[in-house]
Every structure is written in C-alpha cells, then in structure tokens.
Structure 1
Amino acid sequence: MKKNIAIVWGGYSSEKVISEKSATGIYSFIDKEKYNVFKVKIDRTSWQAEARGCFYPVDKNNFSFTDSDNRHIRFDFAYITIHGTPGEDGTLQGYFDMLAIPYSNCGVLASALTFNKFICNSFLKNFGIEVANSILLRKGDTCQPDEVISRLGLPVFVKPNLGGSSFATTKVKESAQLESAVEEAFREAQEVIIESFLQGTEVTCGCLKTDKGMTVLPLTEVVTSNEFFDFDAKYNGQVEEITPARLSEETTLAIQQETERIYHLIGAKGIIRVDYILVGNRPVLLEVNTTPGMTATSFVPQQVNAAGLSMTNIITEIIETELVHFNPRQCYDNDHNK
C-alpha cells in the first residue's frame, strides 16, 4: 500500500512565499507512482491539506484529514519545507516526534541550534570552524554605533538572527545607517545579529545522508552585481549561480570536508546546505540551512543535477531511510503506531 506523504509548507514568517515555491518543487520531484502526495499548508489560523484541488482541515491530534468522500487519511511521513518558524526551528519536529511520525529534516536540537545564527556559529567556532565576528542584540537592547564600529568596523551586515532568505538584511556602510537597519531587522525577529563584512567569493555546499551513505554535493559559486546576495539576487534573477564552482580541486575538497564535518557536529539528518564566504583560500562559515530551498533552480537541485544524480531518487532515499529507522518507542505513544 502506498504511503501518504505530506509536503508541509507555509509558516509564520515572511519566508512563507519561498516555502510555497519549495513545496511546488518538492511535489514535482516526489515519485507519485510510489507515494500518495498531499500538500499541507500551516499558518497561524489554520492547517489545511490539499487533495484534488480541495482543501480540508487537518486534525492536529493525529495529523490526518477527512476528504469529501469521507476517506480518513493519516500521514505516514512529513516532508517539511517551511523556511522559518515553526518548520525550521524545531517546533514542528517536536510535534511530529510526539505523534511518532517520521519527517525529512533535522531533529529538534539540530533545527533549534541552526535556526539561531549567533548560537550556531558560536557553537561551531568551538570546534575550529571559522566564522565572522558578530554582535547579538535582543529586543530592548540599545544599539551603540560607536561600540559596534570599534568592534566590527565598517561595513557590517545587520540581519534578523532568526530567519533567512535575506529578509530585513542590510549592508551598512555608514554609522548613521546602523540604527535604522537594526530597527528594520527587529521588525522581522526578536533578535538581531550584526556581523563584520568579509570580502570574498560566496559559495554553498549541499550535503545529505541516507542508508546509501553520505553524499556531499558539488559547490555552487554565487556571483551578483548587487551589494550582496540579497532577496532580489536570490529570487528575482539578479545573480549568476555557477555549479560546479570555479575553484581548485583542493579548495573544493576542503569545503566539502568542512561541510561533512559540520553535518556530524550538529547531528543533522536529511539534506542541509552550508553557506561560506571564501576569503582567499580560507572558507568562513556564513550559516547552516537545515531546510534549504527546493525549487527546480534552487542550489541543492542544481548541485544534485551537476553530480549526475536525481532529485526524485534522493527524496525517495530520504523518505525510505526515515521510514525504516524512525523509532516510535523514542516518542510518545499514539494511535498512529498502534
């Protein structure tokens, strides 16, 4: 019997528009001869499953829904593609753990850790991973431009500490711009990170592990004429993405090995993507993304294609690995696994 797969998208942040694009991408990749596939949209007001063009409320008690033919459909697996809360920060992971429903990406701890850029970079720095110097501000903290500049210099990047897709991210070149940039970032999240500027080449590397072993993908080099890899560069075509990156074999291998090491250090599963700035030949970590974009032109699908692999096969491997190894005894009992 086919397993019922939920592609979970939406979320509570500005990134829900990107999540919708990723859900469409994943739906196109999943083997629908092997699985029954449904999109499930989660927002603050409702959870809805889409089936044959109609929408049905999801029962949060057991993550199921009843369609117009009175068929009661329970999901066997959740492919989470919410960029931001509650899908990237560990919240949904905890929910699915309690329901004993396997899911595609990192668990609660790894998701919560990587969602907080400042904490994640501080954690990885302890293991010798090089990161940019940074300052963390929480709601209510006062931004002191003179102190920021004395510690980090100019320019600096100001961005929400919890979030992604370059929403509310500003490259600040002058002291007078700093406070307004911090205010803008605070409108997106309760914490703001200010990072020192690093001049170099931006590269990104996807990595995944299934029962077939570890796969570290080719690198993508990011080239844009914009001030930085901002929202327009990411989603409005103002960028050149070169896969594989135009780097030496030695530098490529070093970044791939660093990515695999980070995968193990955070206790990842499924697909992650790690972003770096290459300063000379020295990779400096920008951030770890445990729910990378999955449109047809996103970095990971580009890298999979460059590696001569199939997104359909990779998603199947991720699903099957989790279905085999998920242990409901580690979670709360419920009628889903009786």
Structure 2
Amino acid sequence: MKQHVVVIGGGENAEHDVSIASASGVAQALRARGWAVDALTIGRDGIWCSESGPLGLGVGDSLAAAVALIGRADAVFPAVHGTLGEDGALAALCALAHIPVVGSGLGAGAIGMDKWTTKLVAEAIGIRVARGRLISASDIGDEEYDGPVVVKPVSAGSSFGVSLVSDAGELRHALDTAAEFDRRILVEEVVRGREIDVAVLREADGTRWAAPPLEIRTSGLFDTETKYDGSAEFSVPAVLDAAEHAALVQAALAMFDALGCSGVARIDFFLTPDGPVLNEVNTMPGMTAASQVPRMFAAAGVGYEELVGRLVAGAGVPGVRVGSAV
C-alpha cells in the first residue's frame, strides 16, 4: 500500500510564492518515488485549496476540509515558509491531529522564527551573535544612529523587510519598511565576514549530521532581490580549513539541539577571523531542488528525491524505509 503524504504550500505571508515552489518540488519528488500525494495550498487570503480548487467558501470551511484530509494521511510535509507555517503553526495543527509531521515541532519552529529569541538562545550556549537592539513599531521615532546597521523584522523570512543602513537619513525608512512585516524590529551591527550556511538533518534513527557548508557571495546585502534574481553565487562545499569547518559544524549542531529541531534546518553564519557569528536559523528552509539546503546535501551524495524521502522517514511514519516508497 502506498504511503499517503499531504504536502502544504503557500501561506498568508510574503513568502507565499517561495513556499509554493518548495511544495511543488517536494510533491513531485514524492510522486516520483511512488508515493500518494495530496497537494494543498494555503491562499494569501487563508483559504485552503486542493489541486482542483478551493476546499470551502471561507477560511473556516476550507480549514475543516483540509484537516479531514490531514487526518487520513500518513504524514504531512508543511513546506510553508514564514509566519503561520514555519513558525510552528502547522506543526501544532498536525500534533493536534496526531499525524506525523516533517520538520520541527511547535517550540523549535516558534523560537527559530523569532530572530531576537534565537539570538538569546545562541548567547546562552556560547555562540557569538551580532550586537543588536529590539524596537517596537509603535516606538519608531528619532532613533539614534550609531554607525552602519542592518534593520530586519523579527519574524519574517527570505530577507523581506531587511535593509542595510549606511547613513542616518536612511534609518527611519528602514524601520518603517521592516514594520510592514512585523511589529517587532531588530537593529543589528554590521558583521564583516564570509556568509556560510550549514544544513543539519536529523535521520529517522535520531542521528543528526551536517552537510558540507555552502558559501554565499554577493556584491552587497544578500536581500530578497539578490536571493531570487540569480546574481548571488553559491559555492558548495565552501572552501574552509579544518578548524573553520569544525567550528561551523559544531555551532550548527549546537543550535539545532538547543532549539530542539527535527527534520532539516539551515543555520546561517558569518565567518569572521574570530570564528562564527550566528545570523539566523531556518527550520523550514527553501526546498526546491535548486535551493541551498538540497545543494548542500547533493554535495554529500544525497540527491533531492532521497533527501525528501529521508525527511518523511524522519517524521516517524511507520513502515517507511529510506531509499524507497512503500
């Protein structure tokens, strides 16, 4: 009997289109391996849809129909990035339905999505972070400018609302831009270093390991436009000496464990002469075949379809073997 997986994409946030691309790739990979897949999309308006159309006339009706489908599945793959998805909302829904879910649970998702709280966790376990301060959108006014800073929403992904501020006159606009995505805003010092990402996977037997790190090269800030216009260069494996590699992997595994992550997570760092500085954690990173995480695992000999299969197996689905559908 084929295993039945519900794949969810879309979402009610700025990463809607990115999530649709991830979900489409995941669904195709599972079907290629012989799995039965129901592909659901959460519209920007919150209405859930199947591949044949809306599941109801309103948000509540469509959600009820979606929960019925989820309740009959062997597992759910929530490829929804950002709020009301990656932040643990969908993991909580699956937990209430007692259905195995791919990826991190409510706690890890919620903390990982919150950049301020993630920084506090990192500092508590001895991982360096950029100095920063938290600002409420309601308190935006005559903010003090203390040199080049990065302004970002506390809970948003794909660099939406992120600005590099190099002049005092730019600060107010950057704060207002970030406030469009979250009422809590993080203002951080600029860290000079190489941008290195590390992907960590927890296998079905509980072991976790890091794929070869990836380096991002850009001419400026790795913002939303740069992420998706093809101008950024990704090098995997990143050229690192043994000490740099060990420090990055150790820090990534420590963050993965401290947050209580499951499935896969991408932990982003700046590599400075003094060692790694944590940038952020993504508990449901981009999952198209061309995304950073699949590229890293491909460098380790784990292809895209195999990676997706391992993630479903790691969700605790009875009878699923890595490397084949049942």
Equivalent residue for 1:239, pick from 215, 232, 238 = 232
**Counterpart-to-counterpart distance in 1, 2:306 and 2:107:** 27
Give, in angstroms, the shift of residue 62 of structure 1: 6.7
Q: Using a 3 Å threshold, how does the CA distance of structure 1 residues 324 and 183 change in structure 2: closer, same or farther? A: same
* 1:3-56, Cα deviation, whole Å (9 max, x unpaired): 221111111111111111111221232254441012111133411122xxx235
**1:131 maps to amino acid:** V
Equivalent residue for 1:164, pick from 138, 157, 163 = 157
Q: Any gaps of 5 or more consecutive residues in structure 1?
A: 66-71, 326-338
Match of 1:47 in 2: 48
| Conserved? CA contact 1:5–1:38, under 8 Å | yes
Match of 2:67 in 1: 63
Q: Residue 92 of structure 1 aligns to a residue in which SS?
A: helix
**Counterpart-to-counterpart distance in 1, 2:284 and 2:186:** 20
**Counterpart-to-counterpart distance in 2, 1:60 and 1:218:** 41
Q: Any gaps of 5 or more consecutive residues in structure 2?
A: 56-61, 319-326
The reply on whether 1:174 has 2:167 as its aligned counterpart is yes
What is the alpha-carbon root mean square deviation over aligned residues? 1.9
Q: Residue 94 of structure 2 aligns to a residue in which SS?
A: helix
Q: Residue 30 of structure 1 aligns to a residue in which SS?
A: helix
Match of 1:183 in 2: 176
Give, in angstroms, the shift of residue 249 of structure 1: 2.3
> TM-score, normalised on structure 2?
0.90
**Counterpart-to-counterpart distance in 1, 2:289 and 2:116:** 30
* 1:144-170, Cα deviation, whole Å (9 max, x unpaired): 432x51xxxx21001111101111111
Alignment of 1:12-31 (within 5 A): 12-31=12-31
> TM-score, normalised on structure 1?
0.87
**1:60 maps to amino acid:** A
Match of 2:322 in 1: none
The reply on whether 1:228 has 2:221 as its aligned counterpart is yes
Match of 2:210 in 1: 216
Match of 2:138 in 1: 140
**Counterpart-to-counterpart distance in 1, 2:148 and 2:80:** 31
Aligned sequence identity (%): 29
Q: Using a 3 Å threshold, how does the CA distance of structure 1 residues 108 and 266 change in structure 2: closer, same or farther? A: same
Alignment of 1:1-338 (within 5 A): 1-43=1-43, 44-50=45-51, 54-57=52-55, 58=62, 60=64, 63-65=67-69, 74-146=72-144, 148-149=145-146, 154-212=147-205, 213-225=207-219, 227-324=220-317
Residues paired across the two proteins, number? 310
**Counterpart-to-counterpart distance in 2, 1:62 and 1:41:** 10
| Conserved? CA contact 1:160–1:169, under 8 Å | yes
| Conserved? CA contact 1:137–1:143, under 8 Å | no
**Counterpart-to-counterpart distance in 2, 1:143 and 1:91:** 33
